[in-house]
Amino acid sequence: MTSIIGPASYKFFGVFPAALLSFILPIIGIGCFTYIMARRIAPLVRANPDNRFDHIGKRIQNLIVIWLGQMRQPRYMLAGVLHIVIFAGFLILSIRSVSLVIIGFSDGFVFPGLGGGLGLVYNFIKDYAATFVLIACIVAAVRRGIYKPKRYAVPEKYGKDHTAEAVFVLGIISTLMISESLFEATEAAFEFQKTGETHFLAPLTLVWIFRAMLSSVSPNVLQGLHIFFYYVHDLAFFFFLCFLPMGKHFHVITSIFNVFFMRVQKGNIKPVKYGIADDKLDDLTSFGVKKLEDFTWKHMLDFYSCADCGRCSDQCPANAVGRPLSPRFITIKARDLIFKNYPMSGEIYDSGKLLVQDIYTEDEIWSCTTCGACEEECPLGIEYIDKMVDLRRGMVDEGLVPQSLQKPMKALEKRGNPYGKMEKKRAEWAEDKEFSALCQVKDLDGETADTLYFVDSITSYDDNIQNIARKTSLILKKAGVDFGILGKLEKDSGNEVLRFGEEMLYQDLKSQNTEAILETGVKQIITSDPHAYNALKNDYKGLPPVKHISQVVAQKIRTGELDLKPCLNPEKVYVYHDPCYLGRHNGIYEDPRQALDAIEGLNRVELEKSRDRSFCCGGGGLMLFYEPEEETRMGVLRVNMAAEAGATVIVTACPFCLVNIQDAIKVAGKEGQMEALDFTELIEQHLV
Amino acid sequence: MTQIFAYIPFSNGVAEDVAMEFPTAAAKIDKGASLTAVLTGSGADLDKVANDMTGLYAEVIKINHNDLAYPNAEVVRKALVNVIPAGSIVLAPHNTFGMDLAPGLSVKMNASYAADIVDFAGVEGTVLKASRQELGGAVSTHVAIDIASGAVITIRPGSFAPVEGKTASGAVVDKSANAGDLSAKRKFLEVVQAEVGDVDITKADVLVSIGRGIEEQENIEIAEELAKAMKTVVSCSRPIVDAKWLEKGRQVGTSGKTVKPKVYMAMGISGSFQHLGGLKGNPFIVAVNKNPKAPIFQVADVGIVANIIEFMPELTSAINDL
Amino acid sequence: MEILVCVKRVPDTAENEFELNGAGNDLDRDDLVYSVNEWDNYAVEEAIQIVDKVGGNVTVITVGDSESEEVLRREMAMGANNGILLSDDAFEGSDGKGIAAILKAEIEKGKYDLILTGAQADEGAGQVGGMLAAMLDLPYASLVNKIEVGEGKIKVGREIEGGNQEMNEISLPCVLSIQTGINEPRYVGIRGIRKVAGVEIPVKSASDLGIAADSIGKAGAKTKRIDYFVPDLGAGAEMLEGSTDEIIAKLIEKLKAKGGL
């Protein structure tokens, strides 16, 4: 006998054909897996509808870039690289794993096309893949088990630590790699002993090392080991397959779907229920997410897909200031509840409690500023904002709204602004004597203009912020824009009303604004408030194009219609803080920077956390009225970051950022050392 | 001749300050009216206060009964209906006791009712003209009270100048025997004292409110001392709470408590929009700020440009010396 | 437990800036927004919470014009089971006693274990609850900030000066006026109100109630508002100047006048 006997021909104790075992194991394994998946899919079937079959091109692009390309992984370098190695290894080895299963009852099976030269190339690559995966697993296990990065810690209130599961899975993966390599190495060693020939093996791979180690082991033992490691691999493989849907490694299976179905539009909020038009909302008996099954199937899939990597919570500003919110556990707690309510056997369970009483707390759900940092980071495309909004819709429907938010909501209903100020005073900012001497603002309730300046509530009513409205007007005038305002016809844009779950109030504000805007016949809308910009652009329908003032300024500078003086304060160090609703939600990162850089001699530095990793100032709109429990304020952390970057002036382009950062400078005790400035104020100062 | 009876509330043997304000109020109703103090209670405390009142009132009626030891409005009402002659004007303070007693008393005496009066403009015929506030103090109104068959009127404590010194030499009349049946369906059980440190700024009539001008945590004591001198508590603006120098319950503003004091001492508070949003009821605002351009001066009634760290201790000692 | 809560539609103090009309004798009502009296809202929430615990029904009632139906609906959207609107031209101009008499007439037609009112409303008198109790010969407690329901009687806490709480035991039925802060009223959005938009709310007139027109309304009112006047607001602060001693002397004088000392 010159070649080793494979599992397909091997007979245990010389009589019992191993092929039978090779046949039964996959049947049991696939059977179990099918059953488990059927149980796991059950809640998705009962979930709310979700429209995820649009924008197919964009979805395929996401699949290539985010799933296959793993482009979000290196944002955390070490963990990202380890993951890319394991992920790539899995993809490469999946072919080998399947062919191994078949080899169990068909000796020497190779997939068509992998028989010749291509097969050799594949074997060469897969041997290195297995080796690198093993190394990555060891590094990852050491990192998780010994160094324990803070990101993975599970605070006591959120349940038990997940390290054991992570290390266990790394162990299984290592077992797969080692057994696969030994299965092959035993054959190579056997062949060498019988024939004296050594066929080529990729140097320094596991197989190469194992063959060297086994070179003097007797052929009988090699034969035994060959069969033994085949079944170790076979068992580990099917065990792993069935183990995946039991916890955080479910993402190995779901990630491809989750990324394909991930959010493709930015800045918008999902409808109350897909398939129900706005004017049919009254027919719904319940609003928002109150129980598990009220989530959409994609949101359920999100829960399954979470790999527990903790990047969302690491970026979450609410988590950073000690608010009772960690996005990671929004997902983990829901997944634990699905596993509990949909057990592997027996009846589906329902506690009959609202989710905000059962697994979440009301404060937890109100703590989110909807800044979007979590979603931007998630390598799996898991969503949070829509879930928060859906949970809030449910709370609003049940009347569970903190008193501090009830006041402004009622004022919005009665007066169209959260402060309860009178409608007729909405345009009073324009009557300032000094300002009106320089610039007369048209009221489009009567007059006409090409452009509408949508001011929104805080800029209209807050004495301190009204300056932004005046500076914006002066810039527009200088740039030759023919503009006017809605005056008392303008209502709050409702960006936060929608995001705080008061859907019907938002619908009212939206239809009043839409009607008033369309009535004016303007060709474009400009706003200085990113929250208003976002609502008008992404939530409203059928309006003329909307621009933020920073886009207008950057464009007018490019065309030469606006000229800026050299920097009036060249000794100051400026830093630009990206507002969430301008940056992350709408991708406007460069225009404000270009405008700032157009001021000659302006000394500008960058924050470490900038652009799509910008850190929320504390939130806008209704968030100003909410009283969260927190250890510090987001704005204070942000001001400290700016101080570290060496800045003395924080420039922002959002009225809420200005309010929060101005306050934070005082709280941080940096008054006199640092100042906050709105983009419009800086530009207006430098108008020629 | 108009007969006016003033119900004198007291505790621990001391009449409330409003006892000194009733004579002024009564004189504004009708200079020639007869004014009688009425006291209900039991034991030595009652006797002492009744005796004290003879220096302010020409006649003092006392009603002594064990069931009146604690002023249970239902019991007091029964006693008053039996003692005070129909057609009289009854004055009581507009406080938590007066609000409990007076509306029902007016029904049982078949008299007119007017609440929380801050000024009287005298009687014409059977009509008494008075001033009061509505809508949390946002507007004031003149009211006409028909006193033909008597009236029960509560006055706002602090609205009428107190009479000073001994202005009468009255006598105490014991009408305990006239009180009649005092059985009641409402039984007083106990008074639960407010928890120490559990300061409710929303109910205070006067607030010493501090802002960033306090500069350091150690300086809060200065404000506490002023508050103590003014017999009230310290409230604050958001930065003080954020700095954890005071608890959240002390914060005035849109994201804090809404307060409705009568006097608001804004100490080192710039007067942001968000802060003023928590200030309702048109209080008399005293603003002290070292920045003469602080927006608080736009809304304050009285403004002083000064450093509160220096100003507050001076004011405290001046008040303590009064 | 059958609970009746008396509510009132009032100009919203949080969302209005009050100004006098041109003639100076009334408020400029063109721009006013109205809502349910804040104290009444706490009373309704309390009633709903009691019924949630011990069972029964909550009925909300108001005396007012047809627009007052809006506040009944808002309270029904909160969870009140029934609404009753007492409306008649003859009711207009009623003083506190007139309102209490109108409510009494309706209350005597039903059977209620507990009648709640807000501690006060827009006029700040805090009178209707106490008057109603006296007219019905029921026990009464004002400024209630705690209710514990027992058998045939309840324990109530009243808010008294200094933030202290006066505990009383009261036999049922009784009338209570509710102070703010007793609970956290639930939120009612536009959606909630629309859900109860179709519910029938009976409207009762003076003749339905069998009250003589001259005992109520303007004719029956013994306390009448003559006019409004805006207290002097002043434009900007009066700046006190001089030496610190002089400033403090002036300030103390003002504080005394305004009840600050």
CA angle B172, B155, B129 (to 5 degrees): 110
Is the pLDDT confidence value at B196 over 60?
no
**Per-residue model confidence (pLDDT) at position B275:** 84
Distance of CA C131 to the CA centre of its chain: 13
Q: State the DSSP code for A258.
A: H
DSSP-assigned states of every residue in A355-397: HHHHTS-HHHHHT-----HHHHH-TT----HHHHHHHHHHHHH
To the nearest 10 degrees (0 to 180), the angle between helices A117-142 and A206-214 is 90
Backbone angles phi, psi at A464, to 5 degrees: -75, -35
Nearest to C187 among A396, A415, A421 (CB): A396
In angstroms, the separation between the Cα of residue A47 and the nearest Cα of chain B is 37
Q: Give the mean pLDDT of C216-228.
A: 92
Q: Which two tokens stand for residue C138?
A: 């029921």
Chain segment A226-266, per-residue pLDDT in tens = 999 999 999 999 999 999 999 999 999 999 999 999 999 99
**Sign of dihedral through CA atoms B198, B204, B206, B208?**
positive
Q: What are phi and psi of C237, to 5 degrees?
A: -75, 150
Question: Do C227 and B142 touch, CB atoms closer than 8 A?
Answer: yes
Q: State the nearest Cα–Cα gap between B216 and chain C, in angstroms.
A: 23
Question: In chain B, what is the straight-line distance between the N-terminal and C-terminal CA atoms, in Å?
Answer: 39
Q: Which two tokens stand for residue A25?
A: 């194991």
Structure tokens at A294: 């009220």
Task: State yes or no: pLDDT of B201 exceeds 70.
Answer: yes
Task: Tell me which fold the domain A417-558 belongs to.
Answer: Rossmann fold (3.40.50)
The alpha carbon torsion through A639, A640, A642, A647 (nearest 10 deg) reads 100
A282 touches chain C (CB under 8 A): yes
The answer to whether the Cβ–Cβ distance between B263 and C234 falls below 8 Å is: no
Q: Which residues pair with A334 in a beta bridge?
A: none
Closest Cα in chain A to B239: A667
Cβ–Cβ contact B254 with A under 8 A: yes
A414 and A505 Cβ atoms separated by less than 8 Å: no
Does the domain made of C2-220 have the CATH classification 3.40.50.620? yes
- Residue-averaged pLDDT of chain B: 91
pLDDT band at B194, cuts 50/70/90?
low
Contact A368, A318 (CB under 8 A): yes
Instruction: Tell me which chain A residues have a C-beta less than 8 angstroms from the C-beta of C190.
Output: 413, 504-505, 508
pLDDT above 90 (res B115): yes
Token duo for residue A170: 């790394």
Instruction: Say if CB C96 and CB C125 are below 8 A apart.
Output: yes
Whether the CB-CB separation of B204 and B259 falls below 8 Å is answered with: yes
Which residue matches tokens 């804004």? B266
User: Angle at which helices A163-195 and A219-243 pack, to 10 degrees?
Assistant: 150
Q: Is-contact A527 A550, C-beta < 8 A? A: no
Q: Is A410 close to C185, i.e. CB distance below 8 A? A: no
Residues of C in contact with B157 (CB under 8 A): 259
Nearest to B278 by CA among B298, B261, B302, B303: B261
Query: Is-contact A104 A234, C-beta < 8 A?
Result: yes
Q: What is the mean pLDDT of residues C2-25?
A: 86
β-strands B302-305, C34-36: how paired? unpaired
Cβ atoms of residues C122 and C8 within 8 Å: yes
Chain B CB contacts of A666 under 8 Å are 212, 239
Here the tokens at position C251 are 């300030």
CB-CB neighbors (< 8 A) of A667 in chain B: 239, 242-243
Helix runs in B255-307, H state only: 273-276, 296-299
The phi, psi pair for A64, rounded to 5°, reads -70, -45
What is residue B110's predicted lDDT score, i.e. its pLDDT? 96
Fold of A573-685: Rossmann fold (3.40.50)
Which residue is closest to B251 within chain A, CA to CA?
A: A627
Under 8 Å CB pairs connecting chains A and B tally to: 32
Q: Mean pLDDT across the stretch C235-244?
A: 85
**In the structure encoding, which two tokens stand for residue A299, read together?**
């949101």
Asked, colleague to colleague, whether A278-397 and A417-558 share their fold, the answer is: no
Task: Compute the nearest-CA separation of C103 from chain A (Å).
Answer: 29
What is the spatial distance between Cα A322 and Cα A632, in angstroms, rounded to a whole number?
Answer: 7
Q: How far apart are CA A624 and CA B253, in angstroms?
A: 11
- Give DSSP secondary structure letters for B158-187: TSSPPPPS-----EEEE-GGG------SEE
Residue C114 · residue C47 · CB < 8 Å: yes
- A422 vs C31, C188, C189: nearest CB: C31
Beta strand extents in A112-187 (DSSP E only): none
Using the Cα atoms of residue A601, residue A602, residue A608 and residue A613 in order, give the sign of their dihedral.
negative
Q: Tally A–C CB contacts below 8 A.
A: 61
User: C187 and A287 in contact by Cβ < 8 A?
Assistant: no
pLDDT (tens digit per residue) in B43-79: 999 999 999 999 999 999 999 999 999 999 999 999 9
Residue A549, classed as helix, strand or coil, is helix
* pLDDT for res C234: 46
Cβ–Cβ contact B297 with C under 8 A: yes
How far apart are the CA of B62 and the nearest CA of chain C, in angstroms?
24
Are the C-beta atoms of A449 and A522 separated by less than 8 Å?
Answer: yes
Specify the CATH number of the domain A278-397. Answer: 1.10.1060
Between C226 and B198, name the one with better pLDDT: C226
Please list, residue by residue across A472-506, b when 16 or more beta carbons sit within 10 angstroms of its beta carbon and e when fewer do. bbbbbbbbebebbbbbbbbbbbbbbbbbbbbbbbb
Domain ranges of chain A: 58-260, 278-397, 417-558, 573-685
- Do C131 and B107 count as a contact with CB atoms less than 8 A apart? yes
A147 by DSSP, 3-state: which?
helix
Q: Does B185 touch chain C if contact means CB atoms closer than 8 Å? A: yes
Considering only residues 607 to 666 of chain A, which have any Cβ-Cβ distance to chain B shorter than 8 Å? 624-627, 633, 636, 663, 666
Nearest-angstrom CA–CA distance, C61 and C43: 12
CB atoms within 10 A of CB A440: 12
Distance CA B238, CA A440 (A): 36
pLDDT, tens only, C67-106? 999 999 999 999 999 999 999 999 999 999 999 999 999 9
Domains and their CATH numbers in chain B:
3-178 (3.40.50.620), 201-320 (3.40.50.1220)
Q: Find tokens 């007012």 and name the residue.
A: C64
> What is the SS3 assignment for A575?
strand
CA–CA separation, C255 and B319 (whole Å): 10
Whether the CB-CB separation of B183 and B207 falls below 8 Å is answered with no
pLDDT lower than 70: segments of chain A: 1
- The answer to whether the CB atoms of A502 and C189 lie below 8 A apart is yes
Sign of CA dihedral A339, A342, A344, A347: positive
| Model pLDDT, residue C232 | 52
Alpha-helical regions (H) of A428-576 = 433-438, 457-461, 466-478, 495-499, 503-520, 530-534, 549-558
| Angle of CA points A536, A538, A542, to nearest 5° | 65
Residue A332: the pLDDT is: 96
Give chain A positions within 8 Å (CB) of B243: 667
Per-residue pLDDT tens over the stretch C99-143: 999 999 999 999 999 999 999 999 999 999 999 999 999 999 999
Of C129, C139, C169, the CB nearest to B189: C169
Q: Of all residues in chain B, what percent carry a pLDDT higher than 70?
A: 97
Number of other residues whose CB lies within 10 A of the CB of residue A441: 24
pLDDT for the residue C162: 61
Hey, are the CB atoms on A666 and B212 less than 8 Å from each other? yes
